[in-house]
Amino acid sequence: MNPLERFLRYVKFDTESNEESGVTPSTPGQLILARQIVKELEEIGLEDISLDERSYIMATLPANTTKQVPVIGFIAHLDTSPDLSGKNVNPKVVNYTGGDILLNETDHIVLSPNMFPELNDYIGQDIVVTDGKTLLGADDKAGVSAIISAMAYLRNHPEIEHGKIRIGFTPDEEIGQGANHFDVEKFGCEWAYTIDGGQIGELEYENFNAAAAKISFKGLNVHPGTAKDKMINASLLALEYASLLPADQRPEHTTKYEGFFHLIQMNGSVESASLSYIVRDHDRALFEDKKELLQSLVDKLNTKYPNSTTLELRDQYYNMKEKVEPKKYIVDLAFEAMTAVGVKPIVKPIRGGTDGARLSFMGLPCPNIFAGGHNFHGRYEFLPVPSLRKSMETIIKIAELLTHKS
């Protein structure tokens, strides 16, 4: 089975994660897909296959060389983003000849290079698109497909020498919980690569420092006819708070290494209201400054409206650069592998995070490698088929090059 066939099979599984469920995996579909994957790993002939009740999969491709080669791993996640439905995904493979792609005739949903000019880079290629009703799931079922296909290829081509390779698949990465129950000691690798990047060539070992913030507002509701000098409208407190944050530090106004405050949810009435933000910055000092600003604005509102405003703040993950850069050779190996299979590496910071960010701080350095997709988390997501193939080839080449260097 080639990586495209695997991908088209996996996206049919509804594995959308759910931050509110309070269990792991956060949705039952992830465990259903995990069981299917275990069957395929058994068919390939991998060893030490394990699947726990939380949907963490680990497996081993044994070494076929007598050389002393470091044990490395490849990791991807099973879940898809809750930003858009992952149920009843209807993928279509189209040969892209340029111009607009009509995803859904009934609702006239169009994937257009006018909005997404990167489409022009794939003229003449087969690409996988959605029907405009759901996301596609290339994040990260493309990564899962590339890893499993690479292991199958190595298993079927013993002439390619490689050391012991471990693979792992995690649940709930999209809600920031993918590394929560990952057993680094059991995985047993010196380092690993997450196959969770976007466009072909992406190679990343820097990511945001990340925090989640919820600001709650308590109002005082009285009849509006007699409200003068009495009413405190919690929804208006929320709007006042939001207006105090720097407008130029929103996602739509930032790029590259610039951080942001991103308002992801708001609820409100006169009596109570809340704002939920994600806070991001590559620079640790600027990250801490952002968190301090959130608290200072809470203090400011409480001075003006006593006991009205509270802040819940929790760190989610940190910039993996701190842990990966001292072992930069693991990035260099991926760079060399990409080049060897005809891919131009694009080394850039992740404007987001991966399981690898947290795993790096748990003792498993994890740079991130492309899986090939674009426009993740939405109906315009697409996956160029040759990019998926090159992701698989990069994994194979990493294993091969590491053996030659050992």
Where in the sequence numbering do the catalytic residues fall?
Answer: 79, 173
Q: Which of 210, 197, 192 is nearest to 363 (CA)?
A: 192
The answer to whether the bond into 83 is cis (omega within 30° of 0) is no
* Helices first, then strands: H and E counts in the chain: 10, 17
Residues 231 and 224: their CA atoms lie apart, in Å, by: 8
The answer to whether the bond into 25 is cis (omega within 30° of 0) is yes
Cα-based angle 360, 317, 258 (whole degrees, multiple of 5): 110
Q: Which of 256, 233, 234, 258 is nearest to 246 (CA)?
A: 258
Ramachandran bin of 114, using left for φ above 0, alpha for ψ from -120 to 50, beta for the remaining angles: alpha
Find tokens 């993928």 and name the residue. 91
Residues 390 and 345: their CA atoms lie apart, in Å, by: 12
Q: Do 77 and 174 contact (CB within 8 A), yes or no?
A: yes
- Residue 123, C-beta contacts closer than 8 angstroms, at least 6 positions apart: 96, 97, 98
Q: Do 261 and 225 contact (CB within 8 A), yes or no?
A: no
Residues 229 and 221: their CA atoms lie apart, in Å, by: 12
How many alpha carbons fall within 13 Å on the CB side of residue 131? 11
Strands 272-281 and 260-268: antiparallel
Residues 273 and 60: their CA atoms lie apart, in Å, by: 50
Both tokens of 91, joined, read 């993928």
End-to-end CA distance of the chain: 31
Q: Which of 199, 192, 191, 185 is nearest to 169 (CA)?
A: 192
Q: Tell me how far the alpha carbon of residue 279 is from its chain's centroid.
A: 16
